[in-house]
Structure 1
Amino acid sequence: MKLLVVNNTASGLGDLSVFDFCRAFAEDGDEIIIRTTNGTSDLRTFLGDADKFDCVVAAGGDGTVSSVAYMLANTGIPILPYPAGTANLLAMNLASPSDIHEFVKMARQMNTMEFDFGEIELSDGQRFGFALIAGAGYDATIMKSAEFGKKLLGPVAYFTSAFANATPQYSQFELTIDNEIIHTSGVGVLIINFSKIQFDISLVHQNEPRDGAFDVVVFHTKDAFGLIPALFAAILDRNGEFPERTDALEVYRGTTIEVKADPSLLVQYDGEVTSTNTPFKVRMMPAAATFVVSDECLKLYS
C-alpha cells in the first residue's frame, strides 16, 4: 500500500504518535511518504499527487483534517483522520479507535464512507471547508480564549475558557436559511454537520452527517448561564432519553445559510478562529468527503 501522510506538528500537544503508526503499519512493499508542516506551508503543495496514493493520512487537529478534506472534496480519494490535535472531535464522531494497532488494522481494511462537508465564506471573501461545526459568537470566543492554554491543559482549556467568558456579547441575528429570513437573538449561532462535542455530548438529538443538510442552532439566551439547562439535557441525551433542549436553544435546518449579527461576532470553523467577524455564509457539499472508517462507524452511519 502507498500512504501519503500530511503531518501538522503545530497541532494540539505536539503528538508524534503518527510516527508510531507509520512504523506499525509498514510491511514489505509498502511506501509511506511523510510531508510535514508547522502551519506555514500551503497544504495544496502537499496534495498535488494525492491520487497516486491509496490513502491520505491527515495527522493533526480537526482543522488540519478539514483543510485536507476540503482540498480533496469530491475526488473520492480516501482520507484517514489521524487524531493529533487537542479535542479530535472528528475522530470521536467517526468512532475511530485510540489504540495504534487497531488504527493500523482499520487502515489496512480501508473501509470508506462518504460524508457531507461544509464550505464557509467569510466576510473578506476567503473560503474554507469544515467537517464538524462553524459558528459565530460564544463558541468562537471560547476557542480564541483557549488558544494559549491548550498546550498546557489540553481539552480542559475549553472549559476553563467557558467559565472565564460567562457573559458573552449578546446580538440580534438575521439568518437566511434556504432563502427564508429569520430574526432572532442570543449569544451565538452554530452550523452543525457532525453534532457531537467533548464527553460524547450531542448538540442536537440526531447526529446525521450524511443527510445533506445542516442543523442551525441559536444560543437564544442572554448569558452563558442560560445554557446550563440545555447542557444537562444534552448529557441526558446520551442515555437515549431525548429531553427537550429548553428555550435556550433554537434549532433550524437548511443547506445554505447566511448569518448576520448586530453587534458583529467573531467567526470560527472546526476550532479554527478566524480574524473576521460576521457576516458569513455556509453551503452544504453533500457526500463530498471520503473518510477511512472503523467497523463501528459503518454500523453507526450506514
Structure 2
Amino acid sequence: MKLLIINNLSSGFGDGAIYDFMRSFNRDGDEIVVRSTGGATDLRTFLHDAEHFDAVVAAGGDGTVASVAYVLAETGIPVLPFPAGTANLLASNLASPAEPHALAKMMREERLMDFDLGEISLEDGRTYGFSLMAGAGYDATIMEGAVAAKKLLGPMAYFTAAFSNPAPQFSQLTLTIDGETIQTQGVGVLIINFSKLQFDISITHENRPRDGLFDVVVMNTHDAIGLIPALLSCMLDRGGDFPARPDAIDLYRGSEVTVMADPPLAVQYDGEVTGATTPFTARLMPEAARFIVSEDCLKLYDEESAEPLLLDE
C-alpha cells in the first residue's frame, strides 16, 4: 500500500503515536510519505497529489482531520482519522480504536464509509470544513479559553474554560434554515453533524451523520447555569432513557443554516477558533467524506448487513 500521512506536530501531547502506527503498519513493498506541519502550512499544498496514494492518514486533532477531509471532499480518497489531538471526538464518534497498532490493523482491513461533511462560510470570505459541529457563542468561548491549557489538562481544559465563563454573551438570534427565518435568543448556536461529545455525552438523541441534514441547537438561556438541566438530560441518554430536552435547548433541522446575532458571537468549528464573529453560513455536503472505519462503526451506523466499500474497489 501507498500511504500519505499528514502529521500535525502541534496537536495533542506530541507523544509520537503516529510513528508507532508506521512501524506497525509497514510491510514489504509499502510506501509511506510523511508531510508534517506545525499548524502554519496550508494543507492543500500537502494534498495536491493525494490521488496517487491508496489512502491519506490525518494525524492530529479534530480540526486537522476536518481540514484534510474538506480538501479531499467528494474525491472518494479514503481518509484515516488518526486521533493525535486533545479530545479526538471524531474517532470516538466513529468507534475507532485509539491504540496505534489497532489503527494499523484497521487500515489493512480496508473498511470504508461515506459521511456527511459541513462547510462553514464566514463574512470575510473564509471557508472551512467541519466533520463534527460548528457554532457561535458559548461553545466558541469555551474553545478559545481552552487553547492555552489543552496540552497540560487534555479534555479537562474544556470544562475548566466552561466553569470560568459562567455568564456568556446573550444575544438576539436570527436563523435562516433552508429558507425559513426563525427569530430566537440565547447564548449560542450549534450546527451538528456528529453529536457525541466527551464522556459519551450526545447533545441530540440520535447520531445521524449520514442523513443529509444538520441538527441545529439553540442554547436558549441567559447564562451557563441554565444549561445544567440540558447537560443532565444529555447524560441520561447514555443509559437509553432518552429524556426530553428542557426548554434551555431548542432543536431544528436543515441542510443550510445562516446564523446572525446581535450582539455578534464568536465562531468556531470542530474545536478550532476562527477569530471571526457572526454572521456565518453552514452548508451540508452529503456523504462527501470517505473514512476508513472499524467493524464497530459499521454496526453503529446500521451497516452490519451491508457490504463495506474496500480500498481496492
> TM-score category by the smaller chain?
over 0.9
Match of 2:235 in 1: 235
SS at match of 2:148: coil
Q: CA deviation at 1:100?
A: 2.2
- Give distance in 2, aligned partners of 1:41 and 1:226: 40
Contact 1:15 1:85 in 2 (8 A): no
Deviations 1:223-274 (A, max 9, x none): 0011111111001101111001100100000001000000000000000011
Q: Does 1:222 align with 2:222?
A: yes
Deviations 1:66-108 (A, max 9, x none): 0000000000000000000010000000000122222111000
Aligned residue identity for 1:70? Y
Match of 2:59 in 1: 59
Match of 2:201 in 1: 201
Contact 2:20 2:101 in 1 (8 A): no
Q: Percent of counterpart pairs with the same letter?
A: 65
**Any residues of structure 2 matched to 1:64-213 within 5 Å, and which?**
64-213=64-213
Match of 1:25 in 2: 25
SS at match of 2:268: strand
Match of 2:306 in 1: none
Contact 1:9 1:15 in 2 (8 A): no
Contact 1:63 1:272 in 2 (8 A): yes
The size of the alignment, in residue pairs, is 302
- Give distance in 2, aligned partners of 1:270 and 1:166: 22
Deviations 1:173-222 (A, max 9, x none): 00000000000000000000000000000000000000000000000011
Aligned residue identity for 2:232? F
SS at match of 2:102: helix
- Give distance in 2, aligned partners of 1:298 and 1:198: 21
Match of 2:263 in 1: 263
**Alignment TM-score, normalising by the size of structure 1:** 0.99
**Any residues of structure 2 matched to 1:249-288 within 5 Å, and which?**
249-288=249-288
Contact 2:139 2:188 in 1 (8 A): yes
**Alignment TM-score, normalising by the size of structure 2:** 0.96
Q: CA deviation at 1:41?
A: 1.3
- Give distance in 2, aligned partners of 1:150 and 1:250: 30
Aligned structure 1 segments of 4 or more residues deviating by more than 4 angstroms: none
- Give distance in 1, aligned partners of 2:221 and 2:119: 27
SS at match of 2:24: helix
Contact 2:78 2:290 in 1 (8 A): yes
- Give distance in 1, aligned partners of 2:156 and 2:15: 17
